[in-house]
Amino acid sequence: MKNWIDNVKWTDDGLVPVIVQDHISNKVIMFAWMNRLSLEASLKQKKAIYWSRSRNKIWTKGESSGYYQYIKDMIIDCDKDVVLIKVKQEGGISCHTGRESCFYYRVDMENNKIEECEKVLKNPDEIYKDEK
Amino acid sequence: MKNWIDNVKWTDDGLVPVIVQDHISNKVIMFAWMNRLSLEASLKQKKAIYWSRSRNKIWTKGESSGYYQYIKDMIIDCDKDVVLIKVKQEGGISCHTGRESCFYYRVDMENNKIEECEKVLKNPDEIYKDEK
């Protein structure tokens, strides 16, 4: 039987966008990219392994901080070109800025400005080294 | 004061990925793209207006089905290159297949296969015409 991964529609760069939610709260905590190799490795290890577009290499989330993302659920969209994963975020921090979520600039739609809506939980210098 | 939209980091094609959540359940129901014009129009109208990469034009979600997405909240990520919106989905259907969510292929990680996890709520022929 054909492997479902053969039907994933990759970008011209061979990537697929990945939305990352906390598996209990459903809070969106991160957005990243995977290539086929990192998607297969993620499935095998049940840990989030991405493709870093800035560093041009495979990147296991948590490899330098210990803050791994354990995959509890994975869902693919109708067009098979987006991956959604629900994870248990080790340490409760997914953002390289030391916040729970990378999504922390809330748009004040009335006044057309942005304001921070997530606290820094840990000094990023202490928890992340070459990760992003 | 500088407009925060001036700091959004667009792709080479002038787009930004948009994650769409239901504003109450936090369920991820869609993933799409906006350009600057559609982001500004979305903010002004408080309705989701996207850039259709397949049709190469601005696209108001719901324009042919009436199933608009009313934006209740908008959050930008740390790198200012991803937009998250929380919406009230008119009609409760966001997917062109007639499902609540576009994310309906659940990956069975043990057996390396996918299975549908969302019901078709309405015949898509009845509700969508040229939308996707």
CB contact under 8 Å between A21 and B43, yes or no, is no
> In angstroms, what separates the C-alpha of B125 from chain A's closest C-alpha?
16
Q: What are the pLDDT digits (tens) for B102-123? A: 999 999 999 999 999 999 999 9
Q: How confident is the model at residue A2 (pLDDT cuts 50, 70, 90)?
A: confident
Does B115 reach chain A within 8 Å, measured CB to CB? no
Residue A30 within a domain: yes
Quote the ipTM score: 0.95
Q: What are the pLDDT digits (tens) for A100-111? A: 999 999 999 999
Residue B52 within a domain: yes
Does A105 reach chain B within 8 Å, measured CB to CB? yes
Q: What are the pLDDT digits (tens) for A47-100? A: 999 999 999 999 999 998 999 999 999 999 999 999 999 999 999 999 999 999
CATH number of domain containing A24: 3.10.20.810
Q: How far apart are CA A65 and CA A67, in angstroms?
A: 5
Residue B66 within a domain: yes
CB contact under 8 Å between A95 and B78, yes or no, is yes
Does B111 reach chain A within 8 Å, measured CB to CB? no
Judge contact between B27 and B101, C-beta under 8 A: yes
CB atoms within 10 A of CB A43: 16
pLDDT of B9 above 70: yes
Q: What is the DSSP letter of A96?
A: T
Judge contact between B87 and B101, C-beta under 8 A: no
DSSP line for A113-125:
EEEE-S---S-HH
Residue B13 within a domain: yes
User: How many domains does one find in chain A?
Assistant: 1
Structural domain including B16 reads 4-127
Residue A62 within a domain: yes
Q: Which residue of B has its CA nearest to A108?
A: B74
Q: How far apart are CA B85 and CA B23, in angstroms?
A: 8
Mean pLDDT of all residues in chain A? 94
Q: What are the pLDDT digits (tens) for B56-102? A: 999 999 998 999 999 999 999 999 999 999 999 999 999 999 999 99
Query: Residue B127 has what pLDDT?
Result: 81
Residue B132 within a domain: no
Residue of B11, B25, B22 lying closest to B90 (CA atoms): B22
CB contact under 8 Å between A96 and B78, yes or no, is yes
pTM value?
A: 0.95
Does A72 reach chain B within 8 Å, measured CB to CB? no
Residue A132 within a domain: no
Does B9 reach chain A within 8 Å, measured CB to CB? no
Does A117 reach chain B within 8 Å, measured CB to CB? yes
Residue B18 within a domain: yes
H helices of A5-101, in order, are 36-45
**How many residue pairs from chains A and B have C-beta atoms closer than 8 A?**
116
